[in-house]
């Protein structure tokens, strides 16, 4: 084979190898991500602070989330706001029941709109790409504060993730539960009732004693 032919073969093969290496190194770009939101309602009473859960399931093939090149934005449900928080816990589960700490992290969280939004950077504990396995659920749990005057009922707000693919159908769900009022008793009324009860008991004992004396 002449030197000219060798050069042409080399130039033809090299670009193919480069394209193949990119495809292997960046599997997240191969197919659009497929998943679904899993509504997770948390009961919270007015005036309380609690963690809400955005849970999302991968219903397609394994996907890959790069570290430091993704973000998540949460919106607070009606009647709630986000308190200041620099990080948000992330857990995962394969069965939907047992959630354990994930290698994903949410850090650098910043409030917006007077606490109505919370934006965080998505990364990994080791700085590498995380594999989001088929059927695996990922759960993000930001803290919210419920207004003391919040109207009871279930409220939902949007949550979204942006990386190689975008997930924009997530929700944070809360059920604001009105706690039952504890009846207040006037201490003076209570004391009066107690005195009346003691007086009745004492009178009964005295009458029994008198009756016993008359029998003897």
> Do residues 168 and 73 make contact, with C-beta atoms less than 8 angstroms apart?
no
User: Which pLDDT band, with edges at 50, 70 and 90, does 11 fall under?
Assistant: very low
Residue 75 Cα distances to 87, 153, 170, angstroms: 16, 17, 10
**Partner residues linked to 128 by β-bridges:** none
- What per-residue confidence (pLDDT) applies to 165? 79
- What per-residue confidence (pLDDT) applies to 32? 77
- What per-residue confidence (pLDDT) applies to 69? 83
> Do residues 141 and 51 make contact, with C-beta atoms less than 8 angstroms apart?
yes
- What per-residue confidence (pLDDT) applies to 192? 52
pLDDT tens, residue by residue, 12-65:
334 434 433 333 344 444 567 899 999 999 999 999 999 999 999 999 999 988
Domain ranges of the chain: 1-30, 31-176
More confident residue, 207 or 159: 159
DSSP assignment of 45-77: -TT-EEE--EEEEE-SS-EEE-TTSEEEEEEPP
pTM of model > 0.75: no
pLDDT reading at 216 higher than 90: no
Architecture of domain 31-176 in this structure: Sandwich (2.60)
- What per-residue confidence (pLDDT) applies to 18? 41
Rounded CA-CA distance 214/216 in Å is 5
pLDDT tens, residue by residue, 59-97:
999 998 888 888 999 999 999 999 999 999 999 999 999
- What per-residue confidence (pLDDT) applies to 2? 44
More confident residue, 68 or 118: 118
Taking the alpha carbons at both ends of the chain, their separation in whole angstroms is: 141
pLDDT tens, residue by residue, 133-152:
999 999 999 999 999 999 99
pLDDT reading at 9 higher than 50: no
**108 Rama class: left (phi>0) / alpha (psi -120 to 50) / beta:** left
């Amino acid at each position: 084979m002449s030197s000219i032919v060798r050069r042409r073969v080399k130039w033809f093969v090299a670009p193919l190898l480069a394209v193949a290496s990119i495809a292997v190194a960046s599997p997240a770009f191969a197919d659009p991500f497929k998943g679904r939101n899993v509504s997770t309602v948390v009961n919270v009473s007015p005036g309380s602070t609690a963690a809400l859960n955005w849970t999302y399931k991968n219903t397609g093939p394994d996907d890959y989330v790069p570290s430091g090149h993704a973000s998540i934005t949460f919106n607070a449900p009606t009647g709630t706001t986000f308190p200041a928080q620099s990080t948000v816990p992330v857990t995962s589960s394969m069965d939907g029941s047992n959630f354990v700490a994930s290698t994903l992290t949410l850090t650098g969280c910043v409030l917006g709109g007077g606490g109505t939004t919370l934006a965080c950077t998505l990364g990994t504990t080791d700085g590498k790409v995380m594999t989001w396995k088929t059927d695996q659920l990922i759960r993000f749990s930001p803290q919210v504060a419920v207004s003391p005057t919040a109207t009871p009922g279930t409220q939902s707000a949007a949550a979204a993730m942006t990386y190689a693919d975008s997930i924009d159908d997530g929700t944070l769900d809360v059920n604001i539960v009105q706690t039952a009022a504890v009846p207040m008793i006037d201490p003076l009324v209570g004391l009066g009732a107690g005195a009346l009860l003691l007086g009745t008991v004492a009178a009964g004992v005295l009458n029994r004693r008198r009756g016993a004396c008359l029998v003897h």
